[in-house]
Amino acid sequence: MNAEVEDNRRTLASDMRRAWLVELRRLLFAVGGGWLVGFLFSAPHLGMAAGLLLLVSFHLRLLYLLARWSLNPHRVELPESGGVWGEIFEGLYATQRRARQRKRKLASILAEFQASTAALPDGAIVVTPRGHIAWFNTAAQGLLGLRSPQDIGARINNLIRHPGFQRYVEQADFSKDVQLPSPLNAQYTLNLRLIPYGNGQRLLIVRDVSEHQRLDRMRRDFVANASHELRTPLTVLSGYIEMMHGEAGRPDSALAAWSAPLGEMRGQLGRMEHLIGDLLKLARLESDTPAPRNEVIDMEKLLLDAVRQAQTLSRGAHHFDSAIDETLLLYGRESELQSIAINLLSNAVRYSPDGGSIRLEWRTAREGGSEYPLLRVEDSGIGIEAESIPRLTERFFRVDVGRSRATGGTGLGLAIVKHALEHHEAELSVTSEPGEGSAFSCHFPSYRLYREGEQRRVG
């Protein structure tokens, strides 16, 4: 390959040398010829000047033709010429040929790309840095009702007017996606995701997730209905067992021998009731809307109640300490905030050995210049291995199943916490050291913060 390039270079250099010799010959011919003709008419200098004038006119003509060609290279042809001009024209033709070939290749790549994206079941829309539609495929027409070519060049925000989409574009966090009802039929749900690429361009991918949602809803309804149906027979059973266990406790009772098994049955029934309660709570959380942004919750009262419940569970075996900023209130939903606090505190009790300490903090923290509310529950318990931390909020995930069951755990507590936090646009972060303890921090967004005495948000 290198030898070929070297050969080419050598040929070009020798062509160029030859071309300059032609030019030199032309010059000598013009000067010499002019001198000779002038000499015949006894005016050799005039003859030389005329010869040079002819040569300059020849070059000017070719320069003019080159300038004309450069203005319209597709219509106008360059003349055949020898010498340096011939080399220049040849070089320009070669460059033009290469550019044409490259253009054809790009056009065929583009056509292939458009044909393959047109066949995609997902909608694909190319959005310019200024938010205008540059191109879309056939699926995008079907999903969003875009029309070709009328909507090319239109602003994407004018065509997808749902507030959820406008917020998504403004927030510009393109690691996330957004779910919206289809503008053509509200029964269908679309999933939209903007993918930035190139120089500020974005690709909007639109997917119909209605079927996925329907299946998800069926699964949720099934769990909620099954749990609900199980609740009534369990309550009846539990009532009888409770009564029989009480009866078996009397020394002269016919059921005295059944006291231990009845006690075990009572314990297991209690666990089942707890499990069903948690399943129903999760189902409710999944179908509920985000927490209201105009209802103020008295966090001090709510958190003190939760601490009292945790102390009852601890039966005095742990040391409690709380630091609550009583002026700090939160816009949110009370039942969900209760669930968050109670689950985190009861976990701290259940996973800390007797004598351990538990600390609850309700304060603000700062990040990037803004202040946001933070709920933190810290314990000096058994801790969690780093590899288990990302899985803690999965349903039924337990680091130690035996310990969780023995302390009355359902494996759903942190899943409930995660969902309740999502309803408040809040995030959970966990730090832990095995054998040292754990800290669970809930970071609420700053717009949910409400300081006592401030004007309340309405509506």
If the CB atoms of residues 117 and 339 are measured against ligand ADP, the closer one turns out to be 339
**Least spacing, CB of residue 334 vs ligand ADP, in Å:** 21
If the CB atoms of residues 198 and 355 are measured against ligand ADP, the closer one turns out to be 355
**Least spacing, CB of residue 223 vs ligand ADP, in Å:** 16
What is the distance, to the nearest Å, from the Cα of residue 362 to the centroid of all Cα atoms in its chain? 30
| Angle (nearest 5°) at CA 169 between 168 and 174 | 75
If the CB atoms of residues 418 and 443 are measured against ligand ADP, the closer one turns out to be 418
If the CB atoms of residues 131 and 434 are measured against ligand ADP, the closer one turns out to be 434
If the CB atoms of residues 336 and 379 are measured against ligand ADP, the closer one turns out to be 379
**Least spacing, CB of residue 431 vs ligand ADP, in Å:** 11
Q: Which amino acid is at 313?
A: L
If the CB atoms of residues 181 and 411 are measured against ligand ADP, the closer one turns out to be 411
**Least spacing, CB of residue 299 vs ligand ADP, in Å:** 21
**Least spacing, CB of residue 338 vs ligand ADP, in Å:** 15
Main-chain phi, psi angles of 151, to 5 degrees? -85, -5
Handedness of CA 83, 85, 88, 89 (dihedral sign): negative
Q: How far apart, in whole angstroms, are the C-alpha atoms of residue 338 and residue 420?
A: 10
**Least spacing, CB of residue 265 vs ligand ADP, in Å:** 21
- List interacting residues with ligand ADP (CB under 6 A): 343, 347-348, 351, 379, 381-384, 392, 397-400, 404, 409-415, 438
**Least spacing, CB of residue 309 vs ligand ADP, in Å:** 15
Q: How far apart, in whole angstroms, are the C-alpha atoms of residue 407 and residue 395?
A: 17
Main-chain phi, psi angles of 319, to 5 degrees? -100, 125
Q: How far apart, in whole angstroms, are the C-alpha atoms of residue 423 and residue 289?
A: 7
**Least spacing, CB of residue 391 vs ligand ADP, in Å:** 9
If the CB atoms of residues 73 and 411 are measured against ligand ADP, the closer one turns out to be 411
Half-sphere exposure of residue 407: CA atoms within 13 angstroms, side-chain side? 19
Q: What is the b/e burial string over 86-121, where b = at least 16 CB atoms within 10 angstroms of the residue's CB?
A: bbebeeeeeeeeeeeeeeeeeeeeeeeeeeebeeee
- Beta strand pairing status for 319-324 and 296-297? unpaired
If the CB atoms of residues 117 and 432 are measured against ligand ADP, the closer one turns out to be 432
Mark out the alpha helices in 119-258 (DSSP H runs): 138-144, 156-159, 163-171, 210-248
Tokens of 254: 């016919």
Tokens of 19: 């071309």
